[in-house]
Each structure stands twice: as C-alpha cells, then as structure tokens.
Structure 1
Amino acid sequence: MGKEGLQVINAGYSKTGTKTMNVILTKLGYKVCDAPEAIYRHWQEWEKIANGEKPNEVLQKLFGPGNPDEYTACVDLPHNAYWELLLKQFPDAKVILVLRDENKWATSLTKHLKARIITSYIFIKLRLKYRMHNQYVMNNCPKEKLLIWRIEEGWEPICKFLGKPVPEGPLPHENRLGGVIQELANSVDYQAMVRKQTISLVLRMGIIAGVSYGWFKNLIQPHLQVEESTPFNWKMLGAAIAFLVTMRKL
C-alpha cells in the first residue's frame, strides 16, 4: 500500500483514542505513522516543517507515493496539528476527527501529564483548545472528506467511510490506564534515540576527561602570556576547532 502515499489523516486531539486509531488503521491495512515515529525517527523533518523550510517538499518525502517507510496513514501529534497542510499536499486523503467526552478527555490528559495539581485556569484553557481544534476541523475540512467519529460507534462508520470490509471481533481499545508510556519505552525509534544520547554523553565525558588529564599532567600547556616573538600555534588552533565541531555534532 505504500505506493499510494498518504490516504488517511487522523485529526483528533491526543487522548481521544489515537492509539486505538493506530491499531484500527493497521488492522484495515494501512501503514501508520504515529507520534513515536514522528518524534524519534522524523524529528529533523518536522523541525524543518515547523520552521517553514520547504514544508511541501518535506511532506512529500515523508508521505508521498513510494515514501521509504510506506506510510499511508498518520495519527496523533504532530500530524493532528498539521492536518490542513497534509490535506492540501494529499487532496485524495480522508480525514477522521475522533471526538471524546470533554470531561473524560481533560481528565485523561491531566493524568497522562501526571499533573496531580492543576489550576482551574489551566483546566479551562485545555478545554478551550480542545473545542477550538475540533470546531476548526469541522468548519474547514471538506464535508465529503471528513468523518466525525466516536469510539463507541464501532467499526461500521470507519469501514464505510474508508471503503473497507468490517473486521471480525470487537473494536480494539489501546492505551488503557496509560499503557502508552510502556509502548514508548519499547519503541525501536525511542531506543535508538536513547542509545545515541548515551553514546554522545560518553564521548563528551571522554573528551572532557582527556583534556583534564592532559592539563593535570602538563601535556597541555596553553600560553597564558603571548609575546611578540611567540609563534602562532596552528596545531593548537586546529585541535580547538576539531573539539568544537565534535561537540556540536554530538
């Protein structure tokens, strides 16, 4: 299916059943790009999009026909925030807006963020953002491209909207009791990021330890006073530049 490019955009807010949508779309035959893939595998691409660096070209590479990861659907952040830009790039795609009871959504989000104490002001802002996002999608997405769906409605509306046969068995329900945290820890992309950060930290510490040892053993003796007759130390300059470049790339 990857040859077709992006076909389904889940515009629903986080904590509205995005993990369930991932499983649903996967079961229907789509290759899904979820938040973990976007954050840990494609963060450089999304950074360019956020900075306005040729976003159309970047999105085509990420989700266009024949994309390397064979993505045909996307869910959760940052995709739900960029649903309109995605739809402009892929006009044949369909948009699903998942709605959830506002009180349950706000409570779930608060627990997810582990905010034991949250002010009424922040709680009201969360609700306002939730309403504004949903209303904006409903007002601006072409009606023939949009499905407004709730989990309790089951398989039929989604399958009819996407032109897929209804699978056997009940609708899956993922991320109960915040299981997404464990899923993230098991993510291949997340583990790769942790390994990269660990190697970077070890290299930084090694460089600092090496410089400190050399200084202590008088192997490194910087010129504290520069006289006119003192020759310019090109090797020292080259070492300093190499050090700075290495630190920047780690």
Structure 2
Amino acid sequence: MKVIGAGFGRTGTRSLQAALERLGFGPCYHMSTVIAEPFRIRQWLDGVPWEEMFAGFQSAVDWPASAYWKELAAHYPEAKVVLTVRDPARWYESVSTTIFASALAERTRLPLRRRVLRWLVARRAPDFALYPRMARATVMDPIFGGRIDDREHVLKVFDQHIADVKAALPKERLLVFDAGQGWEPLCEFLGVPVPEEPFPHANERTAFAAKRSRRRLRLIVRGK
C-alpha cells in the first residue's frame, strides 16, 4: 500500500482514485470496488487481515477504507496519506442526497416494489444483500453514531475528522487536498511528473440513484 485516502466519501474520492491510477498508484481500492465485487462486503464484516483485504492494490480511498485511515497508516508506515476535503456545506448537500439518503431508506418501510427487489437481490446475490449492514458497521455507526439525519452533528463530525487527521500525521506524510487544485500538489507530494492531460473530475451525484437501480437489476439477472 503506497497511498491511503483519509477523506470522507463525496469529497472527490472518485476523482482521486482515477488520478492515482493514472499516476501509477493503481489499482486503487474504492467503494465502487466493493460494489463491483460483492464478496468484498463479507471481508469487511468478517474483519479479514489488511493484506488479504487489499491484495493487489497499491492505494485505497473512499469509505469503507478511509474509515480506517488511522489503522491503515499505522499498518503501512511507508504509505503516504491524502486527506480529500471539500466545502462542508456543499459536501453535506451531496452526501445527504446520495449515500445518506440510501442508508436512511433502509430504515423505513419500503414500498412493495422495493421490498420485492430487495428480496430478489438477497436470493440471487446474498453477498451484495449484506451491503447495508456493512455500511452501518463501517461508516454510519462508528463515524456518525447512526445520526446521519442530524445535519449539525454530521458537520461537526466532518470538521473534527479533518482536525484529527491533521493532528495525527506529520506534514511530510500528509497532503490535504481539494480535487479542484488539480495535478500539481498531488504530483509534488507523491514525487511524480505532472501528466499532460486534465485532472479527472468524476461527479456521480446525478447518476447515483440510477446506477444503484441498474446494479440491483444486474444482480437479479446475473446473480453476482
């Protein structure tokens, strides 16, 4: 493991994943990796060793990996840490309408159509059916105390997380990074040349719900 992402989901982690892979620090582990390969959900729930969890990966960003930034930084002492940041209000608007909205929906009684889809996913893709449980166990409960519908609390946790990461790591090992800064600070920190192409900017917010629905349908049809 050469690079550890300590930033919360929806702080430009997908862009950072693409950037790290372009710079030669891939494959980069991301929540999308877990969703694409549902057997990894059980790994998080079972608490497998880090070497098994990240076998074949040179970097890891986004939840659930970033929820364990402190443990990973201690386990991989040579790895550098990138803390992605974003304007708190804009971050909350994004996360509350995507990741948190999905998690909160799991707490409510779903319409019949959604309950049928959930049942079909559980039958055809039992690993993926454990995704809500994993999200609660790795992110929603330990980081936010389950209070993801409390804006003031969530923003307080967001700010405290940034302060904690900054306080825990020496400056030479940590980069506080906004994806809007582009290649230069990231490349300087990692000691690699700046690519002659635009920095990748992946904004999946508008497609979040549609992608989730398509993923469930594929799981029902293919069973994985």
The TM-score with structure 1 as length reference comes to: 0.62
Tell me by how many angstroms 1:177 deviates: 3.7
Partner deviation per Cα, 1:91-145 (whole Å, 9 max, x = no partner) = 1111000110111111111221448xxx9x7110110111111111111123221
Percent identity over paired residues: 31
Tell me by how many angstroms 1:38 deviates: 3.2
Tell me by how many angstroms 1:163 deviates: 1.3
Bigger Rg, structure 1 or 2: 1
Secondary structure of the residue aligned to 1:80 is: helix
Tell me by how many angstroms 1:180 deviates: 4.5
The answer to whether structure 1 residue 28 and structure 2 residue 23 are counterparts is yes
The answer to whether structure 1 residue 129 and structure 2 residue 124 are counterparts is no
Number of aligned pairs?
Answer: 176
The TM-score with structure 2 as length reference comes to: 0.69
Tell me by how many angstroms 1:23 deviates: 1.0
The answer to whether structure 1 residue 101 and structure 2 residue 106 are counterparts is no
Secondary structure of the residue aligned to 2:57 is: coil
Q: Which amino acid aligns with 1:37?
A: T
Partner deviation per Cα, 1:163-197 (whole Å, 9 max, x = no partner) = 1111112211102443345556677x995687447
Out of 182, 188, 211, the residue aligned to residue 154 of structure 1 is: 182
The answer to whether structure 1 residue 19 and structure 2 residue 14 are counterparts is yes
* Structure number with higher relative contact order (C-alpha < 8 Å, ≥ 6 residues apart): 2
Asked if the contact 1:60/1:89 (under 8 Å) is kept, the reply is: no
Partner deviation per Cα, 1:190-233 (whole Å, 9 max, x = no partner) = 95687447xxxxxxxxxxxxxxxxxxxxxxxxxxxxxxxxxxxx
> Do the aligned partners of residues 180 and 21 (structure 1) sit closer, same or farther apart at CA in structure 2, a change above 3 Å counting?
farther
Q: How does 1:173-212 map to 2 (within 5 A)?
A: 173-181=201-209, 191=218, 195-196=222-223
Q: Which amino acid aligns with 2:6?
A: A
In structure 2, the gaps of 5 or more residues are 103-146
> Do the aligned partners of residues 171 and 180 (structure 1) sit closer, same or farther apart at CA in structure 2, a change above 3 Å counting?
farther
- Alpha-carbon RMSD across the aligned residues, in angstroms, is 2.8
The answer to whether structure 1 residue 83 and structure 2 residue 111 are counterparts is no
CA distance in 2, matches of 1:87, 1:193: 38
> Do the aligned partners of residues 13 and 194 (structure 1) sit closer, same or farther apart at CA in structure 2, a change above 3 Å counting?
farther
CA distance in 2, matches of 1:47, 1:127: 27
